[in-house]
Amino acid sequence: MLLPVRAAGRPLTLLLPLCLVLTGAASPGPTVPQLAFSRLQLANGLEVLIHEDHSVPLVAVSIWYHVGSKDEERGRTGFAHLFEHMMFQGSRHVGDDMHFKYVQQAGGTLNGTTNTDRTNYFAVVPAGALERVLFLEADRMGFLLDALTQEKLDNQREVVRNERRQNYEVAPYGLAPRYLAEALYPEGHPYRHLTIGEHKDLEAATLDDVRTFFNRYYTPSNAVLVIAGDVDPKEARRLVDKWFGPLPRRERPPLVRQWAMPVLTQERRVEATDRVSLPRLYVVWHSPARFHPGDAELDLLARVLGGKEGRLYRRLVYQDRLAQEVEVFQQSQLLSSRFGIVATAREGKRPEELLQAIDDELHQLRRSPPSQQEMERARNQIEAALLFDLDELGGFRGRAEMLQQYFYYAGDPDYLARDLERYRRATPQTVHQALLTYLGPGRVVLTISPGPATGPRQEERKG
């Protein structure tokens, strides 16, 4: 079979100028970048975004299917991630295990990931291999089931189960995400189970289950395709229509897009032991969904507290020498988010000492807002990270994924300027208010201590 590919035709440049539209440069105030793109929708419902930049002869192709572990049925957990594996096993016109090889033979890289909210597949290739990648993606979108066999399902099911064992069951602190999810979310909540799924659910999966899952979610109307890099938009549209246009339209499935944020009225303590050398403490609260009011403020607060210049790092690592590492994060998700602090104790230190120091610092912040200097540092870190993703050498994948994220989570791929404005608009007072609103007594405190591997023990404590 002949795979579509052509030569790029010119040498790779060494510098990638920022090919963005910059607005506001002639007026006072910070410059706001705009990630330029064109948009179209095929008759079968496939959304397509194209970002053109000829500075480097590379192109990134990203396709998001709007299905994650939150959309799985009870008793069928792990399907979204299992299907990520199945999508690389061959389709009607692509031989078994050849998807990776065809992209790598063209000089490209590729992979896929699954989380609670979506499944994505991406490749970065020389510009001349764009048609090859589009053909491969279209073939598995339209004709994966033609090559599906029981042998492939059995093989990939075992791969996923081994991945679960390696990354969760035998990894140090590996079961912490499960303990946290079960403590944070009630029965029936879409975020209560791990994306990797349960062994019993994976073992129960049948070929009919897999076919049903594919037909429900892997449809053009439930996907967004982004092409970013050294492309001619007119030619890219022609190729997209050539390979994806003939695929039949199916109705977009009902998706879980909204869910009330769970409320914890008091502290929930969870304790476990595992084959680890040092105790680790997790303190986690529910927080607003991605791009909702309070999300940006808590993202800024995470940087005020975390990082080597943050309050908690200075206090626990440098000053009191209680911890060897500290991480603070606002984990932004579609339905609701999580604000968390993770601290690994130094040898001989107890989790209770870590928790006391953390609560002391939070108490100080509750009494008075962060300083303007702390706010500027946090804002600069966020903006620098965002703009670096846009401007790094070969960073077309970063731009493609940014367009995908804005489209999915904000409903508008042209959201970059408004995203930055969220952080620029925040003040010490609004960050302080977010702290008071969301980081109250209702939280989960998980400790994992050295010892024989045991399941979690849980108790409620009044705040």
- Same domain? For 275 and 203 the reply is no
What integer pLDDT is reported at residue 274 of this predicted model?
A: 94
- Same domain? For 235 and 278 the reply is no
Q: Look at residue 284 and tell me if it is in a domain.
A: yes
- Same domain? For 301 and 154 the reply is no
**How far apart are alpha carbons 148 and 215 in whole angstroms?**
13
What integer pLDDT is reported at residue 29 of this predicted model?
A: 46
**How far apart are alpha carbons 430 and 32 in whole angstroms?**
22
- Same domain? For 236 and 273 the reply is no
Angle 164-171-442 from CA coordinates, rounded to 5° = 90
Q: Look at residue 402 and tell me if it is in a domain.
A: yes
Total residue count of the chain as it appears in this document = 463
Q: Which of 244, 276, 295 is the endpoint of a domain?
A: 244
- Same domain? For 284 and 211 the reply is no
- Same domain? For 236 and 305 the reply is no
Element (H, E) at 103: helix 98-105
- Same domain? For 226 and 358 the reply is no
pTM to 2 decimal places = 0.90
- State the SS3 of 393-437: CCCHHHHHHHHHHHHHHHCCCCCHHHHHHHHHHCCHHHHHHHHHH
- Same domain? For 218 and 284 the reply is no
Structure-derived torsion over alpha carbons of residues 342, 346, 351, 352, reported in degrees to the nearest 10: -120
Q: Look at residue 3 and tell me if it is in a domain.
A: no
- Same domain? For 39 and 184 the reply is yes
Structural domains in the chain (count): 2
- Same domain? For 130 and 271 the reply is no
CATH at 296 = 3.30.830.10
What integer pLDDT is reported at residue 462 of this predicted model?
A: 62
Work out the number of other CB atoms within 10 angstroms of the CB of residue 421.
14
CB 341 within 8 A of CB 287: no
Q: Look at residue 416 and tell me if it is in a domain.
A: yes
What integer pLDDT is reported at residue 463 of this predicted model?
A: 52
Q: Which of 191, 210, 244 is the endpoint of a domain?
A: 244
Element (H, E) at 370: none
Q: Look at residue 14 and tell me if it is in a domain.
A: no
- Same domain? For 307 and 223 the reply is no
Q: Which of 196, 212, 244 is the endpoint of a domain?
A: 244
Q: Look at residue 251 and tell me if it is in a domain.
A: no
- Same domain? For 162 and 122 the reply is yes
**How far apart are alpha carbons 189 and 259 in whole angstroms?**
8
Residues of the chain below pLDDT 70: 1-33, 391-394, 462-463
What integer pLDDT is reported at residue 2 of this predicted model?
A: 39
Q: Look at residue 256 and tell me if it is in a domain.
A: no
What integer pLDDT is reported at residue 3 of this predicted model?
A: 42
Q: Look at residue 153 and tell me if it is in a domain.
A: yes
Radius of gyration of the chain (CA): 24
Q: Which domain holds residue 159?
A: 21-244
What integer pLDDT is reported at residue 389 of this predicted model?
A: 73
What integer pLDDT is reported at residue 459 of this predicted model?
A: 76
